[in-house]
Amino acid sequence: MEHHIYDVLVIGAGPCGLAVAARLCERTPSALFTDDEHRRYHWIQRHSGRMSIMNRKNGMVAKARRPFKQPYSVLVLDAEGDEWLSRWNRLFKLFEIKTLRSPMFFHVDPKDRDALLEFAHQEGRQAECDEITGCVGKERSGHQKKKERKRTGPREPTVEERDRKDYFTPSRKLFADQCKRIVHNYCLDDGLVKQEIVEDLDYTDCEDEHGERLFIVRTNKQIHRARIVVLAIGPGNPPRIPGLLPTERIQGACHAMQAREFPDPVLKAKIEQRHTTNVLVVGGGLTSAQITDLALRCGVTKVWHVLRSQLKVKPFDLNLEWLGKFRNFEQASFWSANSDEERLQHIQAARNGGSITPKYHKILKSHMARGKLSLVTNTTVKSRTWDPETKTWQVQTKPHIDLPPLDYIYYATGIQTDIDALPWLQTMQSKYPIQCRGGLPCINDDLMWNSHVPLFVSGRLGALKIGPGAANLAGARSGAERIAWSIADILGEDEKDPSPEAESESEFDG
């Protein structure tokens, strides 16, 4: 039986996977062309090639442009669903998240840096863009900055914040609709995504007359073959409750990323019966704040929110120096690092653990003022004991705090990235071992496993080469750009002149 060989197989149908698939189809990416060139090329592409035209000088006929065709044969595998962003959409809907944390210029469209802003204006949906105040722009007065210098020391800002444009964040629906537009524009919706769980990945010689080396991807349903594989799997590892294996589940508690409905049915039944309910939320990131707020809005009597460090409040999960048009200094410092250990230190310093936005900080303070929330910092969970009769938890903390019997525990503690712990990559690790730093693979500058193995890594797993923003939408887009260049080199695609003008001229060459 002859198996189809794909040019590119992408594992993961989240934002990083979509960014890679879209970039592979884009002829004029924003990384190569100016805004003026984009306007010219896309106007030509939109209005030319609608009919056959004869050149009156040489008699050659330029035929009408053929419908858009994928430059590569691509397959996308996703464990969550057979549509793009299945997991992303499920979690945002589950936790009723209405607005993204990333600014408007973080998106997955390879064509234009301001594509999301353009989409909002085209659709007349500017009202769905929330301004982030007190961050940059004219409201950053000299008095505000003087007060900050007194708190943090005499360090001067690296840029003049009042000269920047204000930051806006899109609504969840606006971003999701733009992603649907991208999928439609690049014809990425015709059965391209398949819901399959990858169980093993190998790179070996193919037993056919060509003898080329191929990836053998074994899933829970079938075996696929591909010349190139791209890992776009987010953190990669499954979520787990501290002290348990990833596959273990316990009654009355779950990791936030494992939740399938909110609140949990047992907790929901107690709320509907008007029983007093107490919930413990563990974690210091934005997800923990969103769960705390949602639990109280769903009718929970009181929430105890425990953080192992101080509560950090900032607009984005990265420090401001890494965002916008003025991020070159920090990026240059990162890319000029002498080792992956040094880059890992840059990443840890830039992210600095979990944080919440000023908007959710205000929401939490309002819950605290009403006595519905108790926020405890610099505290960890020491032990927990489940009482099957009352169906509640007895929890001990360090340092000790008096907690009532708890009806449910939500762990919003993030997901630890460790590529060595992924079982379906053990074959690759044994045949083509790679070093890791902080659970991240030490890939090369092209985001490849190594120069002889065309296994590409995007998203958080590529952080040692992409930077601290690798897990964000900005990292998805920049990673896709670098991966697309390397794929073009490997598959022999010539992208030196990808403009529609060059394509039109070639039609007259005969």
Q: What is the pLDDT of residues 453-474, one digit of tens each?
A: 999 999 999 999 999 989 999 8
pLDDT of residue 101: 92
Predicted pLDDT at 456? 98
pLDDT of residue 205: 86
In a shared domain, residues 29 and 157:
no
Residue 436 lies in a domain: yes
Mean pLDDT of the chain: 85
Report if residue 267 sits inside a domain: yes
Domain annotation covers residue 329: no
Residues 365 and 288 in one domain: yes
Bridge partners, residue 219, by sequence: 198
**Distance between CA atoms of residues 298 and 268, nearest Å:** 8
Q: What are phi and psi of 44, to 5 degrees?
A: -60, -45
The pairing of beta strand 453-457 with beta strand 253-255:
unpaired
Q: List the end-to-end C-alpha distance of the chain, in Å, as a whole number.
A: 39
Same domain flag for 451 and 473: yes
Look at residue 340 and tell me if it is in a domain. no
6, 224 contact by CB (below 8 A)? yes
Q: How many domains does the chain have?
A: 3
What is the predicted pLDDT for the residue at 335? 84
Does 345 reside within a domain? no
Q: What is the pLDDT of residue 329?
A: 78
Domain end position, chosen among 394, 411, 428: 411
The predicted-structure confidence for 265-316, as pLDDT tens digits, reads as follows: 999 999 999 999 999 999 999 999 999 999 999 999 999 999 999 999 998 8
**Which tokens go with 226?**
């591909």
Amino acid 209: pLDDT? 54
Give the phi and the psi of residue 376 in degrees, each rounded to 5.
-120, 120
- The label of the residue with tokens 């995007």 reads 458
Q: Tell me what pLDDT residue 62 has.
A: 60
Helix (H) or strand (E) holding 208: none
Task: Look up residue 271 and give its two tokens.
Answer: 């709320």
φ, ψ at 68 (rounded to 5°): -55, 135
Domain's final residue, options 134, 152, 170: 170
For residues 192 and 59, membership in a common domain is answered with yes
Do the domain assignments include residue 228?
yes
Dihedral angle computed from the Cα positions of residues 394, 397, 400 and 402, in that order, rounded to the nearest 10 degrees: -30
pLDDT of residue 496: 40
For residues 203 and 266, state if they share a domain: no
- Asked whether residue 338 is assigned to any structural domain, the reply reads no
pLDDT for residue 317? 86
476 membership: H or E segment, kind and range: helix 473-491
**Quick one: 383 and 466 in the same domain?**
no
**pLDDT of 164:** 52
Domain around 384? 253-317+354-411
pLDDT of residue 145: 54
Considering the domain boundaries, does residue 373 fall inside one?
yes
**What CATH number does residue 387 fall under?**
3.50.50.60
Q: Give the C-alpha separation, 425 to 41, whole Å.
A: 42
DSSP string over 40-77:
HHHHHHHHS-SS-EE-TTT--EEPPPPPP--SS-EEEE
- Residues in the chain predicted with pLDDT less than 70, given as ranges, are 1-2, 30-57, 59-69, 134-166, 207-211, 324-326, 493-510
**Judgement on whether residues 154 and 193 belong to the same structural domain of the protein:** no
Quote the pLDDT of residue 331. Answer: 81
Residue appearing with tokens 């460790």: 418
Q: Residue 396 and residue 403: Cα distance in Å, rounded?
A: 8
Residues 26 and 149 occupy one common structural domain: no
- pLDDT of 45 reads 53
Q: Are residues 198 and 159 part of one domain? A: no
pLDDT at 36: 53
- Same domain, yes or no: 222 and 85: yes
**pLDDT for the residue numbered 157:** 44
Q: Would you state the pLDDT for residue 208?
A: 57
The pLDDT of residue 1 is: 44
Q: How far apart are CA 133 and CA 140, in angstroms?
A: 9
pLDDT of residue 495: 42
Q: Scanning the structure block, which residue is given the tokens 């969840």? A: 172
Do 372 and 498 lie in one domain? The reply is no
pTM for this prediction? 0.85
At residue 115, what is the residue type? Answer: A
Q: Which pLDDT does position 151 carry in this prediction?
A: 57
Residues 310 and 392 both lie in one domain: yes
